[in-house]
Structure 1
């Protein structure tokens, strides 16, 4: 379905508000900028801003982009014959090769990441987001494998995948703050993913293989 005029205007307004806010946060620090100042700079009322973003942190980490369902959604969409872990590894490699903004490999994101790391509420939000991603993935793995309630394997595998995902973002952030270029970072993190894949081992890498529906039909 194509995007209607109203939806497009709302999306553009949301993007504008976020871009204005992040610019102020990077310049002055997240905790030093008020919602009223963001609204004034964006030339909207405070009430209008709150209609688009419920919390100040949402301006940096919009719920529709920083989703706790990210890992679960990747695994739900995996191909027949592909395991949960390999689906996530494949997505991360693809995003790195494309220098996708999802993994922060865009010009100027180093300053944004440094700003986020300096703000306690944003770092707490990121930590909580990582926990929610792992929990949501564990629930999907338990459902898909038909695991018993006392089976700890789904949570254990989800934790391994969540650790890998967090490690990638942590390494990207560390290198961005150090001033490395996106191409250099992508190459280094792709090498890191190869190492991580070896560390995960066959039991994790073959867990929750997606069945071929054509065979089971």
Structure 2
């Protein structure tokens, strides 16, 4: 079996396990479902499940690296003359328009599963903290300061908090049973107000230089 085919097979197995796990978690609840049940449903060995997913919560939050990197990526890819705040605002608006799960559009059943599980809720809070640390490093690189610099840390904390608040707002509206288009429209308007509040302090922070 060549390398490409082997990798495709691995991805197929990973997706199969994840799909069966999600179905069981939604049907039975995260806390109540065991790794052995997931393995049986996917028709693989229990060790195969743990080889692909080190922790049970990884079966649910299987795009963790993407989530943690999103804010830092927006800052790193900002356009010439664009501040970190403007780049983050632009990226968030695009994500809301696309109803991207990474900003919270996970659907009612999935959002309820997260909210009802202490383990998953704690894991998600940890991911928000990791995302803020990654953002702080991206800001530090952008302005040429150490990540421990108080200005960098404060900017990352404020920008991270706004995104965390908006994520929770999407989750809140979703759990209330609001239609997804209504959630997107509501959050789009509220995000504009939230980002506007930051303009006086961060509107000119970490502005990307024009290429020389």
Normalised TM-score (structure 1): 0.89
Per the TM alignment, residue 6 of structure 1 is displaced from its structure 2 partner at its CA by 2.5
Matches within 5 A, 1:51-200: 51-62=51-62, 64-105=64-105, 109-147=107-145, 151-200=149-198
2: distance between equivalents of 1:65 and 1:177?
25
What is the alpha-carbon root mean square deviation over aligned residues? 1.9
Q: What is the DSSP-based 3-state SS (H/G/I as helix, E as strand, rest coil) of the residue aligned with 2:31?
A: helix
Per the TM alignment, residue 63 of structure 1 is displaced from its structure 2 partner at its CA by 5.0
Where does structure 1 differ by over 4 angstroms across 4 or more consecutive aligned residues? Answer: 63-66
Q: What is the DSSP-based 3-state SS (H/G/I as helix, E as strand, rest coil) of the residue aligned with 1:71?
A: helix
1: distance between equivalents of 2:93 and 2:86?
10
The verdict on how the C-alpha distance between 1:150 and 1:185 changes in structure 2, with shifts beyond 3 A counting, is: closer
Give the structure 1 partner of residue 23 of structure 2: 23
The verdict on how the C-alpha distance between 1:19 and 1:132 changes in structure 2, with shifts beyond 3 A counting, is: same
Per the TM alignment, residue 71 of structure 1 is displaced from its structure 2 partner at its CA by 1.4
1: distance between equivalents of 2:8 and 2:22?
21
Per the TM alignment, residue 64 of structure 1 is displaced from its structure 2 partner at its CA by 5.0
In structure 1, list runs of 5 or more residues that go unmatched.
none
1: distance between equivalents of 2:195 and 2:163?
12
1: distance between equivalents of 2:54 and 2:124?
17
Normalised TM-score (structure 2): 0.91
Per the TM alignment, residue 113 of structure 1 is displaced from its structure 2 partner at its CA by 0.9
What are the Cα deviations for residues 76-131 of structure 1, in whole angstroms up to 9, with x where unaligned?
Answer: 1111111112211111110111222333436xx21111111111111111111111
The verdict on how the C-alpha distance between 1:131 and 1:64 changes in structure 2, with shifts beyond 3 A counting, is: closer
Q: What is the DSSP-based 3-state SS (H/G/I as helix, E as strand, rest coil) of the residue aligned with 1:208?
A: coil
2: distance between equivalents of 1:137 and 1:91?
14
Does 1:209 pair with 2:207?
yes
State whether residues 104 and 168 of structure 2, in contact with CA within 8 Å, keep that contact through their aligned partners in structure 1: no
